[in-house]
Structure 1
């Protein structure tokens, strides 16, 4: 289980994450939603020990990430698709990660096959498309066969077939009893993937509920999300005003 307890992070006078409390339980896919600048990536980085909270705790199985004996065997994460040396092959990249965590070499071949990269394992990862790089990132997350998985925008760069693949993969991982936490700006995709939701805005918890319960608040999950985060969006505007501006620009161009 992932736990955030009073999690707070400041950058100067800006409060990126503000006394955040939530739990991510095993056995279901939990979606992590929020407007741009809401603190989702910062929260994930604190869970993974990449950023130090100013106060509060981010725990995995009751321990901080730095307290885990073999992190890759307990937690897998995809935060950045191109988090690899561009000159290395996909296979070499995974072998280096495996060697540092006592993971047998055969596991490299297993995860390459699982993500559909078995035939291009010898190619330089730097030449990969964004979608292929994303699949390599998923392979690295799965390498240690961990019980906890975090994915930040996992469908970026994937074609429709790839999107369905990652959706089915996350559901299958949760069905095995793993903890799966996925951040995305694609509300429609989260609606198809997740069962539970954690929604934040301006670093604060706005909702910790099921997809079904939040969807029931409005005509769709998207509408419910926008209603919930209306006052937390980084950029807001009046659609009617934007329409008037565009109309005026059109008249100006015609003259």
Structure 2
């Protein structure tokens, strides 16, 4: 499933958070989404998911906005900051999501096992560590077996084993032909995970190219990134 952004723009009063983005995020690869703090990455992801309304332009999934799908969790799975009620158990959190989108209940247990939370399924999410909450969020993103997976800072709170696990998971999802769109500040992780990179600064597109093309002529992705974003960091 192809994600298309067409002149996507978001203003908050006089401030322009996202400025006319034209992008295609393709299936079958991990697309990394990079940019300094305040570059507009989270706002862009929220517009794709219908959580923020564009000031102008469009974010389309196979030609349709997210909100037009009857069962959106079957089309797009997303990990964003927050979104888990601390009083619910991990299992009940996923169960509510499944029921809202007519997803088979068996998927709840399958996803809990996939992310390593089978033994903590009946604990309240408020008692989870940050890494456990992150794993629960990833389980929710995959619950509907969606062709598109959007992950905002997925390695936050994960220990080294968890980081290695999510790296492999993203690669596996892309190998299955899914569209994997992931934002991260960990450039070293993107260098070993992403196939393609989109870099923005101050809401504008800076680069849209393969990892190899962006890194070419530089010692590392970190070096290439800082040269690309020079002058785009908000003061």
TM-score, normalised to structure 2, is: 0.98
1:180 partner SS:
strand
- Give 2:145's aligned residue: 145
Shift of 1:217: 3.3
1:230 aligned counterpart, secondary structure: coil
- 3-state SS of the aligned residue for 1:137? helix
Q: TM-score w.r.t. structure 1 length?
A: 0.91
Moved over 2 A (4+): none
What is the DSSP-based 3-state SS (H/G/I as helix, E as strand, rest coil) of the residue aligned with 1:51? coil
Could you tell me which residue of structure 1 aligns to residue 66 of structure 2? 65
Aligned partner of 2:136 in structure 1 is: 136
Residue correspondence of structure 1 range 122-133 to structure 2 within 5 A? 122-133=122-133
Matches within 5 A, 1:117-196: 117-196=117-196
Question: CA separation in 2, counterparts of 1:102 and 1:154?
Answer: 26
Q: How many residues are treated as equivalent by the alignment?
A: 234
Larger-Rg structure = 1
Q: How does 1:17-28 map to 2 (within 5 A)?
A: 17-28=18-29
Give the whole-Å Cα distance in 2 for the aligned partners of 1:19 and 1:85. Answer: 35
5+ long unaligned stretches in structure 1: 236-255
Task: Answer 1 or 2: which has greater helix percent.
Answer: 1
Q: Secondary structure at the match of 1:232?
A: coil
- Please state whether the residue corresponding to 2:32 is helix, strand or coil: strand
Separation (CA, whole Å) in 1 of partners of 2:99 and 2:140: 12
Instruction: State the alpha-carbon separation in 1 of the partners of residues 40 and 122 from structure 2.
Output: 37
When the two chains are superposed, the root-mean-square deviation of aligned CA atoms in Å is 0.7
Q: What pairs with 1:28-47 in structure 2 (closer than 5 Å)? A: 28-47=29-48
Q: Deviations over 1:33-92 (max 9, x none)?
A: 001110000000000000000110001111101111210000000011x31111110001
Match of 1:209 in 2: 209
1:50 maps to 51
